[in-house]
Amino acid sequence: MTEESEPTKDAPAAPPEVTVVRRKRMRLSLVWLVPIAALVVGAVLVVRALTSVGPEITITFRNAEGLEPGRTEVRFKEVVVGKVSRVALSPDRERVRVSVKLDKSVESLAVEDTRFWVVKPRVGLAGVTGLGTLFSGSYIGVDAGVSAESRTHFTGLEAPPLVLRDEPGRIFKLVAKDLGSLDVGSPVYYRRARVGRVVGYALDPAKDTLDVQVLIEAPNEQLVTNRSRFWNASGIDVTLDASGFQINTESLASLIAGGVAFGNAEGEGAAAAAPAESQFELFKTRKAALAPPDGPAQRVRMVFDQAQRGLVVGAPVDMLGLEVGTVRSVKLMHAPGSDRFPVEVTADLYLQRLGSVRSQFKPAAASNKQVDTLFLKQLVDAGMRAQVRTGNLLTGQLYVALDFPQKTTKATLDAEKVPPTLPTIRGTLADLQPQLAEIVARLGRVPFDEIGNDLRATLRSAGAATDGLKETLASANDAIKRLSPDAQRALVDVQKTLVAAQAALANLDRNVTQSSAPLQQNVNQALIEMKRAAQALRVLADYLQRHPDALLRGKPADPDPASLNESGR
């Protein structure tokens, strides 16, 4: 504060003193900018990390082979979508728990039906897979689910799934009596081109059959129609018929891994493509698969009095050379009150294989089985009988023939009995056995001992004659050796003589064949003289025949012509 003073008259009044109050300004040091910036960046990173981290799931495997925390990746369609963060044993120490952190972008994989498995090198019927993991290491594969329910705990697969959910194609079910050499991964062929594979099989205890699932890959699934036939193409199909010896196989791979083939029977029209999960029968052979439909089977019974060694289950039943059925059982029976043991044979007949013969028979009946029974009754009334015949002389296999023999007793078929019993006759082999026994008996009556003694004596005589012949040949050989020098000289002389004779004949040929040759002229003159002499001899012979006394008296003198004239007067 300033002290107040009295103003003077002479001096002017001073202005009032103004008091200035200064406020202190708060300054922020630049040093504080660094931690503030760090906090801002940290907050951004935390927010980004929280928004980018996906869910953490737990997968349980049997073991942790090839899995390493922080290194093993999780891949979906070969794209990394997460990593293994932790591997630990389960509380019961039976399995391992693998913690996996998924990316935020694949949060939808953590749903109910997603499947996980460890990808590593594997060798199977479908080939070798996972070879790339030899260098990059094992990883966890993912098959995305389609469920809407989320899930964080999964049980991993010990092997890759047979079919991925997004794999194009269709799955069909085949019903078979047995699996044969088929296995998971066995190929499926169409016209010997691979179009799919076997993806699974399971037993059906209720039907006592085997259900085989096959995947036909796109776009070949359209080849499977409602009329398609499937058959087991494993191994080699060997056929011996009138055209020769045939061997068929789908491929070399089917010999090792087995296989299934399918096709359509000839003559069948176009058919619609079969939907997924359609069911087909799996036949054992291609021939059985492509055969015309057999229709319902007619079970029949046959009783034979003689033994049937060689007749087995599965043996064919034919009618006039056409196979119409199969033997189902062969049993030994005992006739009550006798010592006979007949053989009961049951068979399934497919009478629709007779074609037009069967279709022409249409009696009024309630069902096809009744029609078949009445048809069989008509055939039996016409003389049809069942007979066991030899199918192969080498193996002794038998078959049942339905034939119409000329001489047979009258029989009938009871259509009300189930199954109906067909009348039978003795087989050709049974008729042949007595004939063979008679031949053996005749052979037993042949005096083989006497024939052997005579043959032995004959052989001794022949041996003695052979010894004498050997001595004669030896003597002749010695004589030939002694005469050899003389014989050689004689041969030389003979050869010279033949050469000279050949030259003489050639000279004679030249002299005779040439008309101007002296010899030819002399021969002609000699022939003329010989002709004249022959004529003179003929005249002399005639004269002597008339005058035989001329040989004693001679020829009289010729008379004087003048005297002949006078006597004539």
Report how far residue 64's alpha carbon sits from residue 166's, in angstroms, rounded to the nearest whole number: 28
Structure tokens at 233: 């193409």
User: Whose CA is closest to 250, among 241, 263, 267, 240?
Assistant: 263
Cis peptide before 219 (omega within 30 of 0): yes
Report how far residue 291's alpha carbon sits from residue 8's, in angstroms, rounded to the nearest whole number: 149
Report how far residue 383's alpha carbon sits from residue 115's, in angstroms, rounded to the nearest whole number: 69
255 contacts 203 by C-beta, under 8 angstroms: no
Strand partners, 300: 347
Q: What is the pTM of this model?
A: 0.54
Containing H/E element for 421?
strand 421-422
φ and ψ at residue 346, rounded to 5 degrees: -110, 145
Written as tens digits, the pLDDT of the chain (569 aa) is: 444 444 554 555 566 665 655 555 555 566 777 788 888 888 888 877 666 677 899 999 999 998 999 999 999 998 999 999 999 999 998 999 999 999 888 888 999 999 999 998 877 655 677 777 778 889 999 999 888 898 999 999 988 888 888 889 999 999 998 888 888 888 999 988 999 999 889 998 888 899 999 999 999 999 999 889 999 887 666 665 544 556 666 665 656 667 899 998 776 667 888 999 999 999 988 888 887 777 788 899 999 988 778 888 989 999 988 888 999 999 988 877 777 888 999 999 988 888 777 777 666 555 566 788 888 888 888 888 999 988 877 777 889 999 998 887 888 888 888 889 999 888 765 556 666 667 777 777 777 777 777 777 887 887 777 777 777 767 766 766 665 565 566 656 666 776 776 676 666 566 555 555 555 566 566 667 666 666 666 666 666 666 666 555 555 655 555 544 444 44
Report how far residue 367's alpha carbon sits from residue 171's, in angstroms, rounded to the nearest whole number: 36
Report how far residue 53's alpha carbon sits from residue 72's, in angstroms, rounded to the nearest whole number: 18
Strand partners, 174: 212, 280
**Domain locations in the chain?**
47-155, 169-290, 298-426
Structure tokens at 438: 């008679």
Measured in whole angstroms, the distance separating CA 375 from the mean position of its chain's CA atoms is: 38
- Count the Cβ atoms, other than its own, within 10 Å of residue 59: 23
Burial class (CB in 10 A: 0-12, 13-18, 19+), 319: buried
Report how far residue 115's alpha carbon sits from residue 151's, in angstroms, rounded to the nearest whole number: 12
Structure tokens at 352: 């629709």
